[in-house]
């Protein structure tokens, strides 16, 4: 390996994955200039990794950030401008972290919290419904687009609910706590029931498909279940 190749290797190797390259290691051990270059680059990477650790960036964004950093390093041409590179990278990480924090979905910590939120929303009343039962098919498509998750009608018959049938009246998009959700209104005789449909991303913990949670608050029953990747919270 010659110096030019070594420099190229240093600039293009992945930051988050330890680089193993015997040829590069041999060259570094025998070339003081490249050994220095490697140390500088290593210091830059340490700084970057520290910045990552201090920010709340999810793994999925990691690769995106790394790609941008590699691009930035290549365009800067040489790690000798490392102070400039570091400032630019730290700025980039800070912006990414801030953006992620602002757009981070609200997450419920447990199902008690969710059932309380569902009951208090139910007690506020349904308000005017945007969609009625006969336009529900197109409404589900519209709601899915707006909410960015697949809104599917709940399978109430599988929930072993008490009493006669529950009839869908209509629905709309609304907020539950800090989550944007699909809200469906059902009627069972004179009783109005609410079903809130949340994206699974709004739970800050794992919940298996098919699992259920029952609760009673202020004389109202709540039933929460997960089905086909969505979380349903029903108040009846």
Pick between residue 3 and residue 23 the one whose CB is nearest to Zn ion: 3
Computed on alpha carbons and rounded to an integer, the radius of gyration of the chain in Å comes to 27
Pick between residue 31 and residue 133 the one whose CB is nearest to Zn ion: 31
For the bound state, the minimum distance from the C-beta of residue 109 to Zn ion, rounded and expressed in Å, comes to 54
Pick between residue 35 and residue 148 the one whose CB is nearest to Zn ion: 35
Matching residue, tokens 């000798």: 80
The DSSP result for 173-231, as a single string, is EEEETTEEEEEEEEEETTEEEEEEEEEGGGBSS---TT-EEEEEETTEEEEEEEETTEE
187: β partners: 167, 192
Pick between residue 1 and residue 48 the one whose CB is nearest to Zn ion: 1
Q: Is 3 in the site for Zn ion (CB under 5 A)?
A: yes
For the bound state, the minimum distance from the C-beta of residue 84 to Zn ion, rounded and expressed in Å, comes to 23
225: β partners: 212, 232
Q: Is 11 in the site for Zn ion (CB under 5 A)?
A: no
Q: At what angle do helices 22-30 and 3-12 cross, to 10 degrees?
A: 120
Pick between residue 41 and residue 199 the one whose CB is nearest to Zn ion: 41
Q: Is 24 in the site for Zn ion (CB under 5 A)?
A: no
Q: Is 34 in the site for Zn ion (CB under 5 A)?
A: yes
Residues contacting Zn ion: total by CB under 5 A: 3
Pick between residue 32 and residue 58 the one whose CB is nearest to Zn ion: 32
Encoded tokens for 41: 């680059």
Q: Is 31 in the site for Zn ion (CB under 5 A)?
A: yes
* SS3 per-residue string spanning 122-137: HHCCCCCCCEEHHHHH
For the bound state, the minimum distance from the C-beta of residue 73 to Zn ion, rounded and expressed in Å, comes to 18
Strand order through the sheet with 212-217:
131-132, 167-176, 179-188, 191-199, 230-235, 220-227, 212-217
For the bound state, the minimum distance from the C-beta of residue 45 to Zn ion, rounded and expressed in Å, comes to 19
For the bound state, the minimum distance from the C-beta of residue 30 to Zn ion, rounded and expressed in Å, comes to 8
For the bound state, the minimum distance from the C-beta of residue 147 to Zn ion, rounded and expressed in Å, comes to 55
Q: Write out the residues near Zn ion by the rule CB under 5 A.
A: 3, 31, 34
């Amino acid at each position: 390996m010659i110096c030019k190749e070594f420099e190229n290797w240093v600039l293009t190797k992945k930051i988050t994955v330890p680089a193993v390259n015997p040829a590069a290691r041999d060259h570094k051990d025998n070339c003081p200039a490249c050994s220095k270059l490697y140390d500088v680059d290593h210091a830059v990477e340490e700084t970057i990794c520290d910045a990552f650790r201090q920010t709340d960036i999810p793994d999925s964004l990691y690769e995106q950030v790394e790609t941008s950093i590699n691009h930035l390093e290549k365009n800067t041409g040489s790690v000798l401008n490392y102070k400039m590179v570091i400032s630019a990278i730290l700025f980039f990480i800070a912006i990414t972290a801030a953006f992620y924090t602002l757009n981070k979905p609200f997450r419920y910590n447990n199902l008690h919290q969710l059932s309380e939120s569902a009951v208090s929303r139910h007690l506020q009343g349904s308000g005017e419904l945007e969609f009625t039962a006969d336009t529900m098919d197109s409404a589900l498509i519209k709601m899915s687009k707006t909410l960015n998750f697949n809104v599917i009608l709940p399978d109430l018959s599988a929930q072993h609910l008490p009493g006669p049938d529950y009839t869908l009246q209509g629905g709309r998009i609304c907020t539950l706590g800090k989550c944007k959700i699909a809200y469906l209104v059902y009627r069972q005789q004179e009783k109005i029931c609410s079903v809130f449909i949340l994206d699974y991303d709004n739970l800050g913990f794992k919940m298996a498909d098919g699992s259920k949670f029952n609760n009673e608050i202020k004389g109202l029953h709540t039933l929460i279940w997960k089905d086909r990747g969505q979380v349903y919270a029903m108040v009846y």
